[in-house]
Structure 1
Amino acid sequence: MNTEQLKAFVQVAREGRLTVAARQLGVSQPGLSRQLQALETELGVRLLVRTPGGAVLTDAGERFLPHARRALEALAAGTAELGALTTTPRGTVALGTLQSVGTYLLPELVRAFKDHYPEVLPRLSEGTHEELEARVAGGALDLCIVNLPMRRVDLVAQKLWEEELVLAVPRGHRLTKLKRPVALAEVVEEPLVVIPGMAGTHALEAACEARGLKPRVAVEMDNAEGLRRMVERGLGVALLPGLMARDHASRGFDVVEVEKGGPRRQVALVHRGEEYLTAAARALKTFIVDSLRRSRP
């Protein structure tokens, strides 16, 4: 049994004549007859009887007609709902981000997005690069914002921006007083606040190794916000994304630029492919890309 058979039956029941029903359905009369015969064979009963005055429903046809109509109405409603899902931005969209992006970029961006799309509910979560990629690949997230390069080759990445890493130092630190960009070699003897595995940590470790020194790690953190706060308390220095240092004047730390050629990060928006995105996810993706194109972080 299929929808074409149900449509053929309902149309003939409505019109009473096969020729009229066939014309309205855009099929040939023999083709319509075959659809009806296939439906009757599937059900094991006669639904229609042809008479000189037209097609007449049998008792079985009368009983089956309301069910056929409800089935077609339910299918049409389901199709319309899916169509709205793929064309009208509404419902939930799951976005995962690195903490630095979630804390320092998304609040204002999401507020502006909600002004444009009040029927979309952004569901935000934070995680490591590997966690976020895995959740997008598995369908738990629609989108994620992570640093390049990508670990997986089955995902689509669109670069959003590139930024330098800068040194965050306690207020009044000696490096601030130099009033110039510094080389990482000038930092290797400082107590360090690090997040293991991050690009900034690797850069500091490499600088120490080049000088034959072991990094003086004062504190290890698992999140960027905590790292910044440790610097504010004077526990050491840290390499931060430029995004996190924009408001340093109102915080308890100073920012020192790193010499040209220092560590950088590239940030990208990642998803499984356009065909997997709902209208809400596409709207958020486009809004993020367009907003950052107009105003870089």
Structure 2
Amino acid sequence: MTSEQLRAFLQVAREGRVSTAARGLGLSQSGLSRQLQALEAEVGARLLVRTPSGAVLTDAGERFLPHATRALEAMASGRAELERLAGTPRGPVVLGVLPTVGAFLAPDLMAAFVPAHPEVRPRLVQDHAPVLEEGVARGTLDLAILTLPVRRVDLVTQLLWDEPLVLAVPRGHRLTRLGRPVALQELTEETWVRIPNMVGTRAVEAACEARGVTPKVALETDTAEALGRMVERGLGLALVPRLMAKDAPAHGFDVVALARGSPRRQVALVHRGQGSLTAAARVLKDAITDSVKQHVAR
């Protein structure tokens, strides 16, 4: 069996759908299905069953899952040892990022990293924090940049930065003209655009619940770029991290500060431990720290 087959199996087990897993791995659905069929032929058992609601692990698949995870970890450790002997970082490295990090930090990071390390083949996977955390734990991601807290105690967590949330509003909005920070309690009657499961989304929901009202949501999206464009077009307000709002004038919306005591988010780099990182993952880890110093923590 190959590492590609094991990654295919773990990705489907994590996502629950072959189509979603294929997109995450950069494969066609037919290509991913061939990987799974080859793996099942190798182990001599059916590992997954497709149902109308998604892909479900069989009993054999459930039993095989922890072994597949450990096998990938062992292969990564062995590759890291060989790379240490060779002295040159090379090969694939998979980095999971939050939507806002993918849009507003990753371009600067990769623009510096890729020319400096031509032997390394980075791949970005964008998702929400719980999914990224699970991807690191299962070995389908080498590194992830996600929001704290991290639930799993077996992962290594390095705080990268701490930032406030701010309010993104259409140009010329009345809240801009107030000329002062606003409290979340003042915003419970506003209309919102949002990304599900973001820190800002949960903060708005909590503020509305405290006032006994339901948030008015114009639409939801899963990309930071789309969120900013929707605010720009006047569909609603968005509670976003400061990272996303640093270039607000270029994106066509205004930024309003929140009052003291409003929510913040902590962003961390997560991996399975230094010994599990390949040389390629280690140099990317160092590059992430340097990029944060240059583009965020200043």
**TM-score of the aligned structures, taking structure 2 as reference length:** 0.69
Deviation per residue, 1:102-139 (Å, 9 max, x gap): 11101111111123222212111111212211111111
- How far 1:164 moved relative to its partner? 0.8
Partner of 2:167: 167
Q: Give unmatched runs, 5+ long, in structure 2.
A: 1-77
Partner of 1:206: 206
Partner of 2:45: none
Larger Rg: 1
Distance 1:178 1:79 in 2: 57
Partner of 2:263: 263
- Aligned residues between the structures: 220
Q: Which runs of 4+ in 1 moved over 3 A?
A: 78-81, 83-87
Distance 1:79 1:143 in 2: 16
Partner of 1:241: 241
Distance 2:287 2:216 in 1: 43
Partner of 2:185: 185
Q: Secondary structure at the match of 1:169?
A: strand
CA distance 1:278–1:216, change in 2 (3 Å): same
- How far 1:224 moved relative to its partner? 2.5
- How far 1:237 moved relative to its partner? 0.5
Q: Given residue 241 of structure 1, which amino acid in structure 2 is its aligned partner?
A: P
Aligned-residue Cα RMSD (Å) equals: 2.1
Distance 1:131 1:85 in 2: 33
Partner of 1:11: none
Distance 2:79 2:261 in 1: 55
Asked if structure 2 preserves the Cα contact closer than 8 Å seen for 1:183 and 1:258, the reply is yes
Asked if structure 1 preserves the Cα contact closer than 8 Å seen for 2:144 and 2:271, the reply is yes
- How far 1:210 moved relative to its partner? 2.3
CA distance 1:83–1:97, change in 2 (3 Å): closer
Partner of 2:74: none
CA distance 1:265–1:214, change in 2 (3 Å): same
State the percentage of identical aligned residues.
61
Partner of 1:100: 100
Distance 1:105 1:174 in 2: 30
Asked if structure 2 preserves the Cα contact closer than 8 Å seen for 1:92 and 1:123, the reply is yes
CA distance 1:222–1:80, change in 2 (3 Å): closer
Deviation per residue, 1:176-209 (Å, 9 max, x gap): 0001111111111111112233221121122222
CA distance 1:81–1:253, change in 2 (3 Å): closer
CA distance 1:215–1:81, change in 2 (3 Å): closer
Matched, 1:133 2:133: yes
Distance 1:285 1:154 in 2: 18
Q: Give unmatched runs, 5+ long, in structure 1.
A: 1-77
